[in-house]
């Protein structure tokens, strides 16, 4: 079973941190599924990723198109990561032990300045820990990403 990485965002916005993690996953040759909770929010992320700097372009698409299976990064409110791919969840989207068992990498991004998002992430951490999933907690509180806890 793989490891899930929790990213506690306090300094950088979601779209910036997501773009950085997507670049790393793509650099490792992984296809990525970004799972959110609302279509509107996924459309917003789609727009933000298109507006990034040209040299850091991330090929991606919204689910529901004719080429979903070919997208290197697919933004969706459902679905599972392809075998040995990467799953990234945002906005409290669900993540399960089954999700982690099939993916090479799973990242949970949450806004540490939002009490509800923080509570959801804590509940996910506990549920995954109780299911025997290895987890890491990363914080940017100091200005750079540091691993603060591991199960």
pLDDT per position as a tens digit, 57-111? 888 999 998 888 889 999 999 877 667 789 999 999 999 998 888 888 999 999 9
Domain assignments of the chain as residue spans, ordered by start:
3-150
Give the CATH fold of the 3-150 domain.
Rossmann fold (3.40.50)
Tell me the percentage of the chain whose pLDDT exceeds 90: 74
- Long-range Cβ pairs for the range 52-55 (8 Å, 24+): 52/19
Supply the pLDDT for residue 1: 61
CA-wise closest residue to 58 among 67, 44, 47: 47
Q: Is residue 19's pLDDT more than 80?
A: yes
How far is the first Cα of the chain from the last one, in angstroms, to the nearest whole number? Answer: 13
Q: Which two tokens stand for residue 121?
A: 């992430």
User: pTM for the complete prediction?
Assistant: 0.94
Overall residue count recorded for the chain in this entry: 151
């Amino acid at each position: 079973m793989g490891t899930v990485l929790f990213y506690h965002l306090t300094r950088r916005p979601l779209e910036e941190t997501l773009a950085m993690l997507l670049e790393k996953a793509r650099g490792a040759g992984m296809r990525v599924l970004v799972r959110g909770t609302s279509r509107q929010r996924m459309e917003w992320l789609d727009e933000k990723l298109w507006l990034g700097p040209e040299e850091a372009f991330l090929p991606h698409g919204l689910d529901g198109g004719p080429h979903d299976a070919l997208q290197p990064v697919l933004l969706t409110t459902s679905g599972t990561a392809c075998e040995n791919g990467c799953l990234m969840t945002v906005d409290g989207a669900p993540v399960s032990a089954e999700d982690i068992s099939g993916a090479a990498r799973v990242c949970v991004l949450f806004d540490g300045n939002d009490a509800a998002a923080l509570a959801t992430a804590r509940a996910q951490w506990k549920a995954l820990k109780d299911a025997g999933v290895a987890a890491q907690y990363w914080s940017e509180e100091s200005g750079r990403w540091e691993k603060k806890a591991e199960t």
